[in-house]
Amino acid sequence: QVQLVESGGGSVQSGGSLRLSCVITDSTNSIYYVGWFRQAPGKEREGIATVGENGRITYEESVKGRFTISRDKAKNTVDLQMDSVELEDTGMYYCAAGPYTFGGSPLAARRYNYWGRGTQVTVSS
């Protein structure tokens, strides 16, 4: 069984910073990818940052240079440091985990079969 619990969401002004954290409980030992997804109002869920078991990190273009994902295997956590946030970063943020699959983008939601409940991030001007 795999459980993910997010924390750290809230309201922040444009240009500010926020840090999200996800605690992962994994009794299956099958997780390869962990990542963060975002769903803005009226839009589909999109992958924004992921990290594989081999340490490979992938960012969605709009967050490159602003967001940093980090994984601590000892603590079973994956964090997302959000800097220079923009109004378009508003949305529900989900932590996700999944096994290794061959081919395609690590940001594809289909790779992930375990999801947290999400934490809301609201950016204001």
Q: Which two tokens stand for residue 5?
A: 């619990």
Return the higher-pLDDT residue of 41 and 21: 21
Q: What is the pLDDT of residue 56?
A: 94
Tell me the per-residue pLDDT of 52-78, one tens digit each, with 9 for 90 and over. Answer: 999 999 999 999 999 999 999 999 999
pLDDT classification of 29: cutoffs 50, 70, 90: confident
pLDDT classification of 125: cutoffs 50, 70, 90: very high
If you average pLDDT over every residue of the chain, what do you get? 95
Q: What is the C-alpha to C-alpha distance for residues 61 and 74, in angstroms, rounded to an integer? A: 29
Q: What is the DSSP string of the chain?
A: -EEEEEE--EEEETT--EEEEEEEEESS----EEEEEEE-TTS--EEEEEE-TT--EEE-GGGTTTEEEEEETTTTEEEEEE-S--GGG-EEEEEEEE---SSS-TT-GGG--EE---EEEEEE-
Q: What is the pLDDT of residue 27?
A: 86
Q: What is the largest CA-CA distance in the chain?
A: 43
CA 47 from centre of chain: 7
Mean pLDDT of 19-39: 94
Percent over 90 (pLDDT), the chain: 88
